[in-house]
Structure 1
Amino acid sequence: MQKENYSLGNILTNLKIDSLNEMQQASVDANRQKADVILLSATGSGKTLAFLLPVLEKLDAANKDTQALIVVPSRELALQIEKVFKQMGTGFKITACYGGHLRETEENNLIQPPAVIVGTPGRLGDHIRRENITTAAITTLVLDEFDKTLELGFQEEVSFITDSLPAINKRILTSATESVDIPDFLALQDPEKLNFLPEEGTPAARLEIKQVLAPENDKVETLFRLICYLGNRSTIVFCNHREAVERTSKMLSEKSIINTFYHGAMEQQERDAALCKFRNGSVNVLVTTDLAARGLDIPNIRYIVHFHLPHTEDSWTHRNGRTARMEASGTAIVILSPEEKLMPYIANEAVITIELPETAVLPEKPKWTTLFIAAGKKDKVNKIDIVGFLGNRGKLKKEDIGLIEVKDFFSFVAVVKSKVGHVLELIKNEKIKNKKVKIDIAR
C-alpha cells in the first residue's frame, strides 16, 4: 500500500485531535492482528475513527476499484462517516449512498469507483443489483451500529449485500450495545471482541439525570415551563411518535418557543434544514423521534428531555448519548405525568427533581437565522463562494456569517438575525457564479 500521501500524525492534525483514545488504539491494534473484529463502545466515544483507520490501512492507492464498504442504519450516519473520512485528508475518494438522495447523482459518483463506499442497506443493495457498484475488489466490510441495522429490519438486505461480496477478507462490526446476536450469514472467523462499554450499561458519571413532575397527563405546559427554565441552551426533546413530534413542536411554537422538528417521514431537504438550524444556533430546541438518537454529529448538546418515556433501556442509552459526549457534561431530564413512574433501570440512580418556578420567562431568542440557497456542490458552489457573495453583495461582515453547510443541490448559511431583512433586499437580483439562484429564509 502506498502511504506517502498521509500519516497518522497528519490525519489527527486534520481532525484537530491530539492522540487516539484507548478504544481507538485498541481497535487499530486488534485489526492489525485479526481479520474480524467486533467493537463495542458507547455512542460519542469515537468509534468512527476507530474503524476508519483500519479501513485506511487496507487501502491500496494503486487499486482503482472500490475496496471497502461501510453499511450503516441511517443516512445521517452515512454522511457523518463521509465527512470524517474526507477531513482525514488521505487522498482516497469516498461516496455516500442513501435513500432520499437522487440515485442518478450517486450513479454519477460511482462511475469512477471510489475507494470507500458508505451507505444504507436498501440503497447499497439497489446499486449492487443495478451493477453500479463493482464488488469484485471489495475486501473490507464494516457494519457500523450493526445492532440498529438489524433492529430496523435490514437483515435480509444486509445478507444480500454480504453474499454479493466475493473477496471479503476483513469484517469490522461496531455497536453501542451488546444486546443483539450476530447473524450466521456474516460468517465471522474467530473474531476479536473489544468491549469498551461502561459496566452494566450505566451512563457515564458526567451525565446528570433529573426529573420533572407534571401536574397533568398532558405534559406540554410542563415542557414549555421547563424550556423557559433551562434558557436558550441546546436541547433535544424526544417523543415516541412522528405525530407527537409535530404536535409538540407546533404547541411550543404557539407558546413562542423557537424550535424545529425532525423525523423519518420528512423530505431530505426538510431534514437537512432542521438539523442545520439546530447545529448553527438558529434554533436551540429540536423535537424529534428516536431517529436522532443515533449517528447525529451535533456538538455541545446540553440537555436531553424525555417528553415520552423511552420504550427500552437501549433507547434511553442512545438518546442520552447525544449529550455528555467525550469530555463534555450533559443532563437527561425525564418529564413524568401523575400516572408515570421512572423506568426500573434508572430507579436506583441519584435522580434530582427539578422544581419549576411559578412564572415562566421566555428564553432569549437565538441571534441567528438560516438562509436557504438553491445551489450546492453540483453547481460548483462552495463555502468560500457563499462568504464572498454575502460579503460583497450583501454587505455582511465575517462575524455576521455563521455556520455554512453546502449539500449537493442546495446550501444553508446562518446570518445574524438583525441583518437578514436588509441582506435579502440587497441580494434579491444578484447572481452566484453568474447564475440567478433562489435565496430565502429556510423553512
Structure 2
Amino acid sequence: MKPFSGLPLSQAMLNNLETLKYINMTPVQEVSILPVLEGYDVLAQAKTGSGKTAAFGIGLLQNLKVSRFRVQSLVLCPTRELAEQVSEELRKIARFQHNIKILKITGGLPLYKQEHSLSHEAHIIVGTPGRVLKLLERGSLSLKELRTLVLDEADRMLDMGFIDPIREIISYAPAKRQTLCFSATFPEDVKKLSRSIQNNPVELAVDREHDSTVIRQMFYHAANMDKVKALLSLLNHFQPGNVIVFCNTKDVCRKVNRALTDAGLHSLMLNGDLEQKERTEVLIRFANGSCNVLVATDVAARGLDIKNLGAVINYDFPFEGETYIHRIGRTGRAGEEGLALSLIQPGEDFRLDKIQPRFEEIPETDGDGGQFPDSAMITLSINGGRKNKISPGDVLGALTCSGGISGDDVGKIDRQDYLTFIAVKRTVASKAIEMLEKGQVKGRRFKAMIND
C-alpha cells in the first residue's frame, strides 16, 4: 500500500489525514485520487467499503477555491443515510482548511430550512437526486459554477429509478466540468450513462470481488417453516457480535423482527415504512452498539455503511447476484474477516448457479436466542444538537463531571441538528440519565430520555 504522503497534496491536508489515521491508501484510492486531482473524469468500480468517499473527497477538497463562496462540487447519493455518511466524511477531511461549507440536501427534512441554508451559499452539496432536483427547479440551488459532479453508488441510483432526475440535474450544470462516477458494479445502464455524461473518463476497476479469504460464505438448506429456528441457531452458534439479517419483503422483515424480539434479542427493523427520524434513530442505535441485530430489506439498507460488522445473514436469498454482492460486502472490511450466512429454501438452488456453494449442516442449538450476546450499550438522547452548538465534548463533560460516570462507560455520541444520541453502558444508564436531567450541557438544561 502506498502512503498519502506520496500525493501532491498540501501539507495542511497531509497533516489532517495523519490526524484521521489515514496513512496508507486503499487500492481504489491509489488509482483514483491522482486522476481526480488532475481534473480527469473517472469511472471507477470498487466494492462497498473500499474507501470511495476519500478517493473522490480528497481530490475535490484539495482543488476547491475556498475564497469563492459558490457551489463548486455536487455529490449525488442514492439514499439519505449514504448522504449523511458522505457529508460527515467530507467534513472530517475538510478540517485541513477553515471556512469550507458542506451542506447536506435530502428529503425527509423541511424544504424551507434547506432553502434558508442555501441562501447563505455553500462550497459542496451532498444530496439525493429527488431533493436536489426540486431545489434546482425552485431556483433555490444554482450549479452555474459547478466544477465537479460525483455520482456515488451509481448502480444503486439507477436501480432505484433515478436516471431521469440525474439527467435533469445535469442539465442545470455547466457542460465543461469534471464528472466522477463510482459504482460497485458496471451493468450496461451505468456504462451507457457514463458514455453520455463523461468525457473520456479514466476507467478503473479494483476490489470488485469479495475474496473468500476475507468473507467466509456459508450456505444452509432450510425449509420455510424452520427458518426462524435456523436463524436463531446460526446466531447462537456463530455469535457474530452484530449482524444484519436481510429479507426480501417488508412483511417478512416485520415477521423476523417480531420473532427475534420474542426470543429475547434486542432487534431493530429497517424497512421502507419507517419515517426518516425513525430510520435515523434505528441506524444510530445499531451503529453505536445499543442493538446487535438489524433486520432489513435491500431498499431500506441501500447506502448503509456499518463499520466492523460481524456478519450478514441472508434470511431470504436475493433474486439477483449483484444484490448478493452488495449485501455481503458490508462485512469483511478493512482487512478483517467477514461472515456471510445464507438460508436456502427448497427450489431456490437455481439462484446459486454462479456461486457453486458447499452446503453446511445447521448447527444444533436450543434455538431460544439465549446464547447470542446481548447489547452492552443503550442509547440516550437530549433535545439539543448541532444547531445548539453542542459538541460531543460538551456531552461527555456533562456525564463525567463531579464524579458522575466514567468516560470509559460512554460510547459513540451522534449529533443531529436538534438531537444528540449518546451510547452508554446499560449498567450506568440510570445514573447517566440523572446526570443529564439534573445537570447542564454547555450551560443549558435539556430534556433527556432512554431510546430502547
Query: Do the structures match in fold with TM over 0.5?
Result: yes
Cα distance in 1, alignment partners of residues 80 and 134 from structure 2: 15
Cα deviation code 1:149-202 (max 9, x no counterpart): 11111111111100011254211111000113233794322222112253xx46
Gaps of 5+ in 2: 1-7
Would the aligned equivalents of 1:34 and 1:191 in 2 still touch at CA under 8 Å? Answer: no
Q: What is the match of residue 171 of structure 2?
A: 163
Q: What is the match of residue 201 of structure 2?
A: 191
Change (3 A) 1:151 1:197: same
Is 1:367 matched with 2:372?
no
Cα distance in 1, alignment partners of residues 212 and 72 from structure 2: 37
Q: 2:335 aligns with which of 310, 327, 333?
A: 327
Cα distance in 2, alignment partners of residues 319 and 342 from structure 1: 19
Would the aligned equivalents of 1:35 and 1:169 in 2 still touch at CA under 8 Å? Answer: no
Q: 1:90 aligns with which of 93, 96, 106?
A: 96
Secondary structure, counterpart of 2:316 in structure 1:
coil
Secondary structure, counterpart of 1:177 in structure 2:
coil
> Cα offset for 1:438?
2.4
Q: 2:44 aligns with which of 39, 44, 47?
A: 39
- Give matches, 1:9-158, under 5 Å: 9-32=14-37, 35-88=40-93, 89-91=95-97, 92-158=100-166
Cα distance in 2, alignment partners of residues 184 and 12 from structure 1: 31
Q: CA RMSD in A?
A: 2.4
- Give matches, 1:269-308, under 5 Å: 269-291=277-299, 293-308=301-316
Q: What is the match of residue 413 of structure 1?
A: 422
Q: Pick which of 265-274 and 424-433 moved more.
A: 424-433
Normalised TM-score (structure 2): 0.90
Cα distance in 1, alignment partners of residues 177 and 85 from structure 2: 25
Secondary structure, counterpart of 1:311 in structure 2:
coil
Q: Pick which of 226-235 and 352-361 moved more.
A: 352-361
Normalised TM-score (structure 1): 0.92
Would the aligned equivalents of 2:219 and 2:357 in 1 still touch at CA under 8 Å? Answer: no
Change (3 A) 1:350 1:7: farther
Secondary structure, counterpart of 1:194 in structure 2:
strand
Identity between Structure 1 and Structure 2 (%): 29
Gaps of 5+ in 1: none
Residue 372 of structure 1 aligns with an amino acid whose one-letter code is S
Q: Pick which of 392-401 and 297-306 moved more.
A: 392-401
Cα distance in 2, alignment partners of residues 204 and 136 from structure 1: 47
Q: What is the match of residue 388 of structure 2?
A: 379
Q: What is the match of residue 245 of structure 2?
A: 237
Cα distance in 2, alignment partners of residues 383 and 396 from structure 1: 15
Cα distance in 2, alignment partners of residues 392 and 102 from structure 1: 36
Cα distance in 2, alignment partners of residues 428 and 28 from structure 1: 47
Would the aligned equivalents of 2:230 and 2:362 in 1 still touch at CA under 8 Å? Answer: no
Cα distance in 2, alignment partners of residues 399 and 10 from structure 1: 28
> Cα offset for 1:43?
1.1
Q: 2:409 aligns with which of 400, 405, 416?
A: 400
> Cα offset for 1:99?
0.9
> Cα offset for 1:10?
2.0
Cα distance in 2, alignment partners of residues 313 and 338 from structure 1: 18
Q: What is the match of residue 5 of structure 2?
A: none
> Cα offset for 1:241?
1.5
Change (3 A) 1:260 1:340: same
Cα deviation code 1:370-402 (max 9, x no counterpart): 112221111222211211222237921111211
> Cα offset for 1:106?
2.2
Change (3 A) 1:369 1:67: same
> Cα offset for 1:347?
4.0
Cα distance in 1, alignment partners of residues 212 and 229 from structure 2: 30
Residue 96 of structure 2 aligns with an amino acid whose one-letter code is T
Secondary structure, counterpart of 2:375 in structure 1:
coil
Cα distance in 2, alignment partners of residues 13 and 85 from structure 1: 15
Cα deviation code 1:96-122 (max 9, x no counterpart): 111112323322332222111110001
Cα deviation code 1:282-310 (max 9, x no counterpart): 11111111146543231111110000111
Would the aligned equivalents of 1:138 and 1:168 in 2 still touch at CA under 8 Å? Answer: no
Residue 173 of structure 1 aligns with an amino acid whose one-letter code is C
